[in-house]
Structure 1
Amino acid sequence: MRTTVLRMLTALTCALAACADIMPVPDFSLERIGGKWYMAGFATNAQWFVTKKDTMKMGTAMLVPTEGGDLDLTYATLNADGSCWRMTHLAKKTDTPGRFTFHSQAWNNDNDMRFVDVVYDDYAVVHTIKTKEGVSEVLNKLYTRSSDVNADLQQKFTQFSKDTGILDENIVMLPKNAECPEA
């Protein structure tokens, strides 16, 4: 147990030092990022994820650009009991295109979100630094336009996540799942 905690602390320290320099993709297009995405991959060393990762499944994300340049984020995942887990955030633009910030009321944390790799009709890799009570964690997500994810893209996401300090066992490609009905 002590070794695992030390490995996680070391990875987190490395990740935070490296992640501060991770920049969004050049020439980010807010309009082209909009639409429906599948949340296909998830990677973080956060303790809540370590205990929940085996039960997580693919969900959807609707990204809707606002007139002011912000981004409405709506997430939905169908639970095993048929209910839907939903969450929404308004991600506020920053001076850097492709970088947004928001406060999560549900988790009471501040989020610095960056689109670091995007092929608009295929996939997006999103890197977020979440900070709560002075403690920061890294969360990487792989969004795809299709629920099918090829091996090359899985490998690209895995390598990026490792490069940002995520332990191998905390990088997950989420299993396919039925979708929530429209709200």
Structure 2
Amino acid sequence: MANLLLAALGVLLCSLAVSTEVNPQGDFDVQRMAGKWYLIGFATDAQWFVNHRSSMKMGTAILTPTATGDLDMAYASLNSDGSCWRMSHLAQKTDVNGKFIFKSERWNNENDMRVVDVKYDEYALIHTIKTKGGVTTTLNKLYGRAADLSPDLLDKFRQFSVEVGILPENIAILPKNDECSA
């Protein structure tokens, strides 16, 4: 009886793991991601977020596709003291269209990034699985071409984040912020 119960539990756990697989948008076009995006939504199951959520504000990302299909990502956010926080990554394309990998030198983690849903002139929903020291966390970001998105898109972001296991209290729509100078 115990073996049967363990086998059933194993099947259940495997089915849950499969059902939480997040795939990129099928018809993804990296060239259409080019340009400026506003970081509007941020959701994660990482513990550090609890301590930093209240200080986070909207930032910008400049995405630049390379000739080889990779994606250069440059982030900037204005700090409360007037200084500018900046970070950049080169996300390398994989064999799966819309899926990229990169290593963050700043945070020393491996990143598996998927563009889950995008309407190139309006919004992009990006799902990233981060791994550091054998610990895996999930990060979802909602980008907009403008600093405001419709309530329906904000709800879509919240719903997607909950579906991939992020607690509602760890989902933030970031307050607007002035931009860093170029």
TM-score by length of 2: 0.90
Shift of 1:84: 0.4
Give the match's secondary structure for 2:40: strand
Change (3 A) 1:171 1:18: farther
Shift of 1:143: 0.5
Give the match's secondary structure for 2:60: strand
Question: Are 2:20 and 2:164, in contact at CA under 8 Å, matched by a contact in 1?
Answer: no
Structure 2: give runs of 5+ residues left out of the alignment.
1-12
- Which residue of structure 1 lines up, in the alignment, with residue 79 of structure 2? 79
Matched, 1:39 2:22: no
Structure 1: give runs of 5+ residues left out of the alignment.
1-12
Moved over 6 A (4+): none
Matched, 1:130 2:130: yes
- Which residue of structure 2 lines up, in the alignment, with residue 30 of structure 1? 30
Shift of 1:19: 7.7
Identity of aligned residues (%): 60
Letter in 1 for 2:173: M
Shift of 1:100: 0.2
What are the superposed Cα offsets for residues 48-79 of structure 1, whole Å, 9 maximum, x if unpaired?
11110011000000110000110000000000
Change (3 A) 1:20 1:159: closer
- Which residue of structure 2 lines up, in the alignment, with residue 67 of structure 1? 67
Letter in 1 for 2:79: N
Give the match's secondary structure for 1:159: helix
TM-score by length of 1: 0.89
Aligned length: 169
Give the match's secondary structure for 1:169: helix
Please say which structure displays the higher CA radius of gyration: 2
Shift of 1:17: 3.0
Matched, 1:181 2:181: yes
What does 1:161-180 align with in structure 2 at a 5 Å threshold?
161-180=161-180
